[in-house]
Amino acid sequence: MDIITLLYGRQQREWQNKANCTGVDPDLFFPERGASTREAKAVCHGCVVRDDCLDYALANGEKFGIWGGLSERERRRLRRERTACQGAPVVASAS
């Protein structure tokens, strides 16, 4: 058992081992309100596990930080869009 699991009860997910952010200062991904997110998003750009990271954040309701290259505001918008698409009726095209 590693220290993270011991302290927080979380086990590292396999995808995290492949993330571009491994070894990067975590503070970069949790900027002060109003501060730029450009550097954090640059680390995420091209990351092979970006979708896994974003899915994790969405599934776990992460409210802070940059996850999968998106800020909380961007994740909220994505959740709303996904919810709207799921609730929209399917309309058959007239052919």
E runs forming strands in the chain: none
Give this prediction's pTM: 0.74
Domain range summary for the chain, segments of one domain joined by +: 15-77
* pLDDT, tens digit, 9 for 90 and up, residues 28-37: 999 998 899 9
CA distances from 6 to 2, 3, 68, 88 (A): 6, 5, 26, 43
CA distances from 4 to 1, 9, 20, 74, 76 (A): 8, 7, 19, 28, 27
* pLDDT, tens digit, 9 for 90 and up, residues 5-52: 443 445 567 888 899 998 899 999 999 988 999 999 999 999 999 999
